[in-house]
Amino acid sequence: MLPYEALETEARARLPEAVFDYYAGGSGEESTLAENTAAWARVRLRPRVLRDVSSVRTATEVLGTPLAAPVLVAPTAFHSLAHPEGELATARGTREAGSLLVLSSRASRRVEDVAALAGPWWLQVYVFKDRGLTRALVQRAVTSGARALVLTGDTPVVGRKRRDRGDSALALPEEDFLANLEGLTRRELAEQAPDVTFADLDWLRELSGLPVLVKGVLRADDARECLHHGAAGLIVSNHGGRQLDGAVSTAEALPEVVEAAEGRVPVLVDGGVRTGRDVLRALALGARAVLVGRPVLWGLATGGADGVRGVLEGLREDTAHALALAGVAEVSAVGPDLIAPARHR
Nearest to 214 by CA among 105, 106, 99, 125: 125
Which residues partner with 323 through β-bridges?
Answer: none
Q: Is 239 one of the annotated active-site residues of the chain?
A: yes
Residue 191 main-chain phi, psi, to 5 deg: -90, 75
CA distance 309 to 125: 25
From the candidates 79, 228, 229, 239, which is the catalytic residue? Answer: 239
Report the phi/psi class of residue 335: left, alpha or beta, with left for phi > 0 and alpha for psi in -120 to 50. beta
Which residues partner with 212 through β-bridges?
Answer: 149
Contact 322, 31 (CB under 8 A): no
* Residues classed as catalytic: 239
